[in-house]
């Protein structure tokens, strides 16, 4: 188990190094959902999946042309004040409010879609309630 974790870490560090050297030319906007290389994390922190360590991330707020506040998502059903269900492409996903983080746009690989205003406003409302 330790060897498997160390191998995953090694692969993540290689990918992260390549991402860090990438030119930052991704155009993104608030409300969009992107595949984002979030990496290998610790404990209850959300991890990326597959060889790109990707997970869908909702862009909550654009900070600069190369950075954003994002909320990871999951397809697993969850209940609690830190989870917000949304619908994208006729499927329900869960936005993880408690996993909010600032990311660099070099981590973004491909756009999945854009959240409608109703769901996006609900996420923002629940976010402010959770952190307010």
- Read off the CATH number of the domain in which 70 is found: 2.30.30.110
pLDDT at residue 44 greater than cutoff 80 = no
Please state, in angstroms and as integers, the Cα–Cα distance from residue 25 to each residue in 28, 82, 104, 107, following that order.
10, 32, 11, 11
What is the per-residue pLDDT for 10?
86
Q: What's the domain count of the chain?
A: 1
pTM of the shown model: 0.89
Query: Rounded to an integer, what distance in angstroms lies between the CA atom of residue 125 and that of residue 49?
Result: 29
Domain range for 58: 2-131
Name which of 23-32, 43-52, 57-66, 101-110 the model is least confident about: 43-52
Per-residue pLDDT tens digits for 52-80 = 889 999 999 999 999 999 999 999 988 89
Contacts by residues 47-51 (CB-CB < 8 Å, ≥ 24 positions apart): 51/11, 51/15
What is the per-residue pLDDT for 46?
81
Tell me what percent of the chain is helix, strand and coil, each rounded to the nearest 5. 30, 35, 30
What is the per-residue pLDDT for 90?
94
């Amino acid at each position: 188990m330790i060897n498997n974790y160390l191998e995953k870490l090694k692969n993540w560090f290689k990918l992260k190094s390549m991402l860090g050297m990438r030119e930052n030319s991704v155009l993104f906007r608030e409300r969009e959902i992107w595949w984002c290389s979030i990496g290998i994390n610790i404990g209850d922190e959300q991890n990326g999946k597959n060889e790109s360590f990707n997970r869908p991330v909702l862009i909550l707020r654009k900070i600069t042309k190369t950075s954003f506040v994002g909320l990871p998502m999951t397809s697993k059903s969850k209940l609690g004040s830190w989870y917000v269900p949304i619908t994208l492409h006729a499927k329900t996903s869960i936005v993880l409010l408690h996993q909010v983080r600032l990311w660099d746009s070099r981590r973004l690989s491909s756009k999945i879609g854009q959240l409608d205003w109703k769901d996006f406003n609900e996420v923002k409302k629940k976010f402010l309630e959770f952190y307010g």
